Amino acid sequence: MNRQCIVKKRNLKNKDSLNLGIIGNCKSAALINEDSSIDWCCLPQFDSPSVFGKILDEKIGGNFKVECDESYRITQSYITDTCILCTRFSNGSDAFELLDFMPRFKKEDGIFYSPPEIVRVFKHLSGTPTFRVIYDPRLEYAIGETKNYVKDNFIVSIVDDKHYDTLFLYTDLEKDNILSGAEIQLIKDHFVTVSYNEKIKVPNLQQTQFEFERTKVYWFNWCHKTPTFSNYNQEILRSAMTLKLMTYEKTGAVLAAATTSLPETIGEVRNWDYRFCWIRDASMVIKVIAKLGHNQIVKNFIRYIIDLIPDKNEKLQIMYGINGEKMLTEEILDHLEGYKGSRPVRIGNAAFTQKQNDIYGILMDVIHYQIESYPEDDEKHEELWSIVKSIIWVVKNNWQSPDKGIWEFRQDDRHFTFSKLLCWVAVDRAIKISKLIQGGKSVNKWTVLRDEIHQDIMTHAWHDGKQAFTQSYHSEHLDASVLLMEYYGFIDGKDQKYVQTVKAIEKELMHEGLLYRYKNEDDFGLPSSSFTVCTFWFINSLFQIGEEEKSKELFDELLSHSNHLGLFSEDIDFKSKRLLGNFPQAYSHLALIDNALNFN
């Protein structure tokens, strides 16, 4: 099992931060603490009930940890150019590595092998290390009692309460020692496989090592397809792999994050389920990942969108389930304490009913990219053209209406600048699509609409007193989302109004090196942490207005706030710089890549 497991020496500024790694196989994912504990995993897919959920309740959530005595030093890193996590235990003379992965590789028939299972390989390095296993699965979000039984070939965990579910553990270690937590001495390599399904063929070490090598080669090949950059190459690559892990291959959906209910601020109630596909977030991910040459992800997402909108009068929701579910009813799991005691724990997301006019422009932007990049896909273009015309009809009839906005305010609707901007983007990209596939026949009638929206924004979103574009029409509140006016081509980066907006946002929203989304109170009061993507947007805006050196300095500073593996969550605490919010966050990593590309 040749490998390159490089230990990164990074001083963790906050031991209470989300010092987690992610492994996955585009079917589900698991989050593994820096001490080796699997603290979050949902099987058989991303949005299934958790089987390990310690991250949401340290007492009853359940986890799977390998524990040594205090003489051992623990370090953690990814095997280079893979999503295989390596946790190393060493006391100087006795050492071993724990190699964690979820199998993913292409079989001889061309189909990907991505079973709903976690593999842990114990790699003996030196001496006679000892450890014990804490194996405590709690199925179905820890609702009901999970009971464990040792059988001839496996340990089976069963819950039979409100719901029935099972989990299977296969290993060449003594199964009784795993359940009892007895001390285990390691003198050779061993394995553990945790599977949602009972295996027809009982796993063994040789087969496990074979799956390890094939999974490693899969990731090597995937990374090889990614361009190499002179600056920030490793940061780009790790972010790209993380975004890949957030894709659900079966349908082409892209998740916003792998978790639910990790709070934006400890002790507050901004806790949401992000294991769904937001059209906005996913479309942004697709556009960025396409820049890196991974076109299949783009095609899969376009297929997902086409499947979501079978009829021309089908209304587009802001978000869907990863299998295309439209009803995402929100529930509260009262029996769970929440992350660091931050209740409530939610599953489902009530925002699916919200009206957000920005989604049309972001989706149209991706459709334009698809048609421009793959002119040979004529049959798919016909389906997309029908969607384009339907979107234009919706935008024409709704762009003057208020909505909930990008931040999903649960208060009254407003005329948000970002929503108007993306309505403009929808029409602008539709015009470009018309030129590409129908010789521009629709350009004239749509140009009038595009110009009307543009003039409306310039007239009503600009605030003379603030000398900036503001959050909503005739509002004094500034908002980081308006920084994307340049990104989407609405205004030039050197335009004085845009420059003034960037400066005003820096003055009012920048705090402790991080950016507020906005400072006006929302449904839950004043936000007290920084939404990570907003700082990335600001850094990009500095670059576009010509302050490239300052942009790079802030970018380097922001990168230093990642966890020990270079991963970001949704939010960063202003003062402590601890990571908060759902993890890992697709928004954060797509923006990281976009910023890094500026410096290449």
Mean pLDDT, rounded, for 210-231: 97
Q: Give residue 312's pLDDT.
A: 67
What pLDDT, on the 0 to 100 scale, is given for residue 162? 86
Whole-number pLDDT of residue 8: 44
Please give the pLDDT value at position 526: 75
- Mean pLDDT across the stretch 418-431? 97
Mean pLDDT of the chain: 94
pLDDT at 272 over 50: yes
d(CA 365, CA 382): 17
b/e 550-577 (16+ beta carbons within 10 angstroms → b): ebbebbeebeebbbbbbbbbbbbbbeeb
Strands (E), 44-154: 50-52, 63-67, 73-78, 85-90, 95-101, 105-106, 112-113, 117-126, 130-136, 146-150
Q: What is the percentage of the chain residues whose pLDDT exceeds 90? A: 87
CB 31 within 8 A of CB 258: yes
Rounded Cα–Cα distance for residues 295 and 506 (Å): 36
Provide the residue type at 72 as one letter.
Y
CATH of 233-598, picked from 1.10.3720.10, 3.30.830.10, 1.50.10.10, 2.130.10.10, is 1.50.10.10
- Contact indicator for 573, 226 with CB cutoff of 8 Å: no
Is a pLDDT exceeding 60 seen at residue 455?
yes
Give me the pLDDT at residue 316, please: 87
Give the pLDDT band of residue 1 (cuts 50, 70, 90).
Answer: low
Q: Which CATH fold would you assign to the domain 20-221?
A: Beta-galactosidase; Chain A, domain 5 (2.70.98)
Condensed to tens digits (0 to 9), the pLDDT of residues 371-384 reads: 998 888 777 888 89
Cα distance between residue 509 and residue 525, in whole Å:
16
Task: At 204, list the tokens.
Answer: 């063994």
What b/e string do you get for 29-39 counting C-beta neighbours within 10 Å, with b at 16 or more? bbbbbbebbbb
Segment 404-422 shows an average pLDDT of 89
Residue with tokens 């970002």: 418
Residues 493, 494, 500, CA angle at the centre, nearest 5°? 90
- Mean per-residue pLDDT, 44-57: 98
Which pLDDT score, from 0 to 100, does residue 138 have?
A: 98
pLDDT above 50 for 12: no
Q: What is the pLDDT of residues 533-543, one digit of tens each?
A: 999 999 999 99
What is the C-alpha separation between 562 and 234, in angstroms, rounded? 13
Q: What angle do CA 112, 115, 118 make, to 5 degrees?
A: 125
pLDDT digit string, tens, across residues 304-323: 998 988 676 677 899 999 99
Give the model confidence (pLDDT) of 53-110 as tens digits.
999 999 999 999 999 999 999 999 999 999 999 999 999 999 999 999 999 999 999 9
Cα torsion through 488, 492, 496, 498, rounded to 10: 10
The torsion angles phi and psi of 413, rounded to 5 degrees, stand at -70, 150
SS3 179: helix
- Inter-residue long-range contacts of 407-410, CB under 8 Å, 24+ positions, other chains counted: 407/481, 407/517, 407/518, 407/522, 408/318, 408/351, 408/354, 408/356, 409/522, 409/523, 410/523
The pTM for the full model equals: 0.95
Residue 410: band (very low, low, confident or very high) from pLDDT cuts 50, 70, 90: low
Long-range contacts for 441-450 (Cβ within 8 Å, ≥24 apart)? Answer: 446/392, 449/392, 449/395, 449/396, 450/424
At 13 the pLDDT is 46
Look up residue 50 and give its amino acid.
S
User: What mean pLDDT do residues 422-429 have?
Assistant: 98
- Average confidence (pLDDT) over 211-225: 98
Asked if residue 121 has pLDDT above 60, the reply is yes
Domain definitions of the chain by residue range: 20-221, 233-598
